[in-house]
Amino acid sequence: MSRTTPAADRGRASRPRPAGAPEVETVFREEFGRVVATLVKRFGDIDLAEEMAQEAFVEAMQRWPRDGVPPNPGAWLTTTARNRGIDRLRRESHRDAKQQAAYHLYGEEESVPSAPVTSVTDERLRLLFTCCHPALAADAQVALTLRLLGGLTVPEVADAFLVPERTMAQRITRAKRKIKAANIPFRVPRDADLPDRLRGVLGTIFLVFNEGYLPQSGEHAIRTDLCHEAIRLGRVLRGLMPDEPEVTGLLALMVLTEARRPARVGGDGVLVPLDEQDRTLWDRALIDEGHDLVRWCLRRNRPGPYQLMAAVNAVHTDADSVSDTDWGQVLALYDQMYAATPTPVVALNRAVVVAELEGAEAGLAIVDGLVLDGYHPFHATRADLLRRLGRANEARAAYDRAIELASNPAQIAFLTLRRDALDPPAG
Partner 1 sequence: MTQYMISVMATEGEPQPSGAEMQRSFRDVETFNEKLRKNGHWVFAGGMHEPSTATVVDGTGTDVVTTDGPFSESKEYIGGFWVIEATDLDAALRLAAEGSKACGGKVEVRPFHDEADIEDMVREADARA
By beta-carbon proximity to partner 1, the closer residue of 193 and 278 is 193
By beta-carbon proximity to partner 1, the closer residue of 135 and 357 is 135
Closest CB 132 distance from partner 1, rounded Å = 13
By beta-carbon proximity to partner 1, the closer residue of 192 and 371 is 192
Closest CB 306 distance from partner 1, rounded Å = 25
By beta-carbon proximity to partner 1, the closer residue of 90 and 187 is 187
Determine if 326 is a binding residue for partner 1 (CB under 8 A). Answer: no
By beta-carbon proximity to partner 1, the closer residue of 180 and 261 is 180
Burial 243-252 (b: 16+ CB within 10 A, else e): ebbbbbbbbb
- Judged by DSSP in three states, 152 sits in coil
Determine if 94 is a binding residue for partner 1 (CB under 8 A). Answer: yes
Determine if 34 is a binding residue for partner 1 (CB under 8 A). Answer: no
Residue type, 180: K
The beta-carbon contacts of 340-348 under 8 Å, at least 24 apart in sequence, are: 340/303, 340/304, 340/305, 340/308, 341/305, 344/370, 344/371, 344/372, 345/372, 345/375, 345/377, 348/372, 348/375, 348/377, 348/378, 348/381
Closest CB 186 distance from partner 1, rounded Å = 9
Q: How many CB atoms lie within 10 A of CB 139?
A: 14
Closest CB 179 distance from partner 1, rounded Å = 9
Determine if 97 is a binding residue for partner 1 (CB under 8 A). Answer: yes
Distance of CA 406 to the CA centre of its chain: 22
Of the residues 20, 189, 203, 218, which one makes contact with partner 1 according to CB under 8 A: 189
Closest CB 188 distance from partner 1, rounded Å = 11
Give the CA distances from residue 175 to residues 47, 152, 167, 196, in Å, rounded to whole numbers and listed in that order.
11, 16, 12, 21
Closest CB 395 distance from partner 1, rounded Å = 46
Within positions 192 to 221, which residues make up the interface with partner 1, using CB under 8 A? 193
| Positive or negative torsion for Cα 290, 292, 295, 300 | negative
Within positions 130 to 169, which residues make up the interface with partner 1, using CB under 8 A? 133, 135
d(CA 291, CA 294): 5
- Nearest 5°: the CA angle 118, 72, 40 is 45
Size of the site for partner 1 (CB under 8 A): 14
Of the residues 66, 166, 187, 302, which one makes contact with partner 1 according to CB under 8 A: 187
Of the residues 7, 8, 112, 181, which one makes contact with partner 1 according to CB under 8 A: 181
Closest CB 102 distance from partner 1, rounded Å = 12
Determine if 10 is a binding residue for partner 1 (CB under 8 A). Answer: no
Closest CB 189 distance from partner 1, rounded Å = 7
**Choices 34-42, 176-184, 282-290, 419-427; region in contact with partner 1 by CB under 8 A:** 176-184
d(CA 258, CA 401): 28
Closest CB 194 distance from partner 1, rounded Å = 12
**Choices 182-190, 202-210, 342-350, 372-380; region in contact with partner 1 by CB under 8 A:** 182-190
d(CA 266, CA 277): 9
What is the Rg, in whole angstroms, of the alpha carbon atoms belonging to the chain? 25
Contact 248, 302 (CB under 8 A): no
Q: Which residues bind partner 1 (CB under 8 A)?
A: 94, 96-98, 133, 135, 181-185, 187, 189, 193
